[in-house]
Amino acid sequence: MAANRSLTLPYDPELAVSDAPLLEQSDQAEVSGSSGQSRQRPVKVLAGIFLSSLFLLTLIWTLFQGQEEPRDQAQMINANLNKSSPSSSVSPYSLIPASRGVPQGVSEKTFRGVSDANDIYPWTNAMLSWQRTSYHFQPEKHWMNDPNGPLFHMGWYHLFYQYNPDSAIWGNITWGHAVSRDLIHWLYLPFAMVPDRPFDVNGVWTGSATILPGGKIVMLYTGDTDDLVQVQNLAYPANLSDPLLLDWIKYPGNPVMIPPPGIGKKDFRDPTTAWLAPDGTKWLVTLGSKINKTGIAMVYETSDFKGYRLLDGVLHAVPHTGMWECVDFYPVSTAGDNGLDTSANGPGTKHVLKASLDDNKHDYYALGTYDPNNNKWTPDDPELDVGIGLRLDYGKYYASKTFYDQKKKRRILWGWIGETDSEAADLMKGWASVQTIPRTVVFDKKTGTNILQWPVEEAESLRFNATEFDTVKLEPGSIAPLNIGSATQLDIIASFEVDREALEATVEADVGYNCTTSGGAASRGKLGPFGLLVLADGSLSELTPVYFYISKSTDGSAETHFCSDESRSSKAPDVGKLVYGSTVPVLDGEKLSARLLVDHSVVESFAQGGRRVISSRVYPTKAIYGAARLFLFNNATGVSVTASAKIWHMQSADIRTFPDL
């Protein structure tokens, strides 16, 4: 990459930053002869490309040999949803996917949650094309995973992301780069960093940005070395006056952190955004690891981002949680609705500690108190500690990362939504994975026990053609179609009121109910399930219920569950069909409420203003394009429900390559 590329934009004094280099002149001189980053790939990567191509040719040949067309087995599911979808006829081709990522020392990147993983459904081009989202961020093609180093600079939001420029499966991890004015419409830029140095030749892995006083930017990231050791590296923009931050310089003294004694060489990764120490002169950064099966967050101290000292003890540790990846650590205001800079602390703040657990591939968080003088964070509730309590998202979601948006004084959360289909299907469609719609994060002042996540307000700019349905009465065992036309790209806000007399008259109902183990929406109880059927076809042979379910104890206390059921989402056998969900706090006087973002194969569901969130990947074969429909339903046996909904169709976001680059 040429070192002098930049885009000339009108000067704006409010966006101006210092052009002083981060490094001293002597440091700059060391890299002046190699300011551009080579795009050459290691020999092993070229071999990988060849093998991937050979595999794809073999797959195509196999699929064209004697492939059977699937039998049409669509049948109406009755109103109580108790019938499951029949199995589809599948091709005889079989493939057991290889493990990807684990041999290199990171989490598993191959989806292995398909019970019929050996059966490859005969997907058509139309089916695969429909799966691509229209307003979620994803690259033009190939594999993507973790969001990296998000930041706002000179009028542009920047997103970096783990990317394989050669294939739709994980490997050869490079930093992709895109920019946006509004977090919705994106422009692809050239790669920010490629694996081309001994300290990152096996992968430019996850990292975070820190904006220093005066506007300087530093990026810390994990590199996988030529010896397969995880180390932390420093990079910084070649030209801070470039709003697009097109070129990045890797510090010649890398690595700046190596695994300390007692930490495995493959258990040391994912540095966070740095925050100021109490003395105001040093910076602190945490990253994840483990000791035996105890997950830990370690803290390093630095004054110049080139030299680091490991602080005594750990920020926090939780036994039996395993390796902590993609740790995030940030303050939230307990008084206001604004976000806080990462260095904020003191009265009126709590700190969120979040870790992505390598052992189960979920993102957990907890609220607590941070004592920087003793390098300790303490959870408010030990029973809701990191890894054993609350999750950021109860669906297909991992490796999340936040940043402070200084433009709008808010904290923004990104998260990776991976695929839950087969690698063979991903290779056929040529891409894998999306990012969530960016979410704001605030403290839930009403409960005091959790955060609230909500789609950024800019997403509402895509809405058009609103339709409202008021006080729709849903008797037990009923389904009501919502006639809005195609239901592929939607923003839905819905509320549900349960018949109060019937609820109070119910003495006991489904004590011990659990979304994931209680049979999904087909399992009927006195007080649930009821909600929405999204991405359903007209005959209900495919459908994805997102619903509430109320359980009640003999002492009169009720517990509300929020769930998403993929078990009948597709006739294809080679896709994940899980039931996701958890309990959700509902306070006195609150209606049950949900917001759903439907975008082709992605459904993001938010309950009670964002107290609980579920991201789902669904791969229908019939409920696609104009055949996708939307319904309200009540599959409870003992209570009527009154539902109201406002539904917008959503325009497609403009996501394309930046012009003239």
Question: Who's near 65: CB < 8 A, 6+ residues apart?
Answer: none
Q: Is the peptide bond before 319 cis (omega within 30 degrees of 0)?
A: no
Tokens read off for 232: 């932390």
CB atoms near residue 83 (< 10 Å): 14
For residues 313 and 373, give the distance between their C-alpha atoms in angstroms, rounded to a whole number.
12
SS3 readout for 371-390: ECCCCEEEECCHHHCCCCCE
Length of the chain as a residue count: 661
**146 catalytic per annotation:** yes
Please tell me which residue in 12, 19, 72, 146 is annotated as part of the active site.
146
Upper half-sphere CA count for residue 457 (Cβ side, 13 Å) = 3
Question: Who's near 67: CB < 8 A, 6+ residues apart?
Answer: 91, 93, 122
Q: What are phi and psi of 263, to 5 degrees?
A: -110, 130
For residues 289 and 293, give the distance between their C-alpha atoms in angstroms, rounded to a whole number.
10
For residues 58 and 66, give the distance between their C-alpha atoms in angstroms, rounded to a whole number.
14
Under DSSP, is residue 601 helix (H, G, I), strand (E, B) or coil?
coil
Element holding 44 (H helix, E strand): helix 43-63
Nearest alpha carbon to residue 144 among 188, 183, 182: 188
Under DSSP, is residue 596 helix (H, G, I), strand (E, B) or coil?
strand
Question: Strand 186-193 vs strand 655-657: parallel, antiparallel, or unpaired?
Answer: parallel
For residues 374 and 357, give the distance between their C-alpha atoms in angstroms, rounded to a whole number.
25
Residue 257 near residue 269 (C-beta atoms within 8 A): no
Give the burial class of 11: count Cβ atoms within 10 A of its Cβ; 0-12 exposed, 13-18 middle, 19 or more buried: exposed
Q: Where are the alpha helices (DSSP H) in 80-199?
A: 125-131
CB atoms near residue 648 (< 10 Å): 18
Residue 468, beta-bridge partner list = 646
Catalytic residues: 146
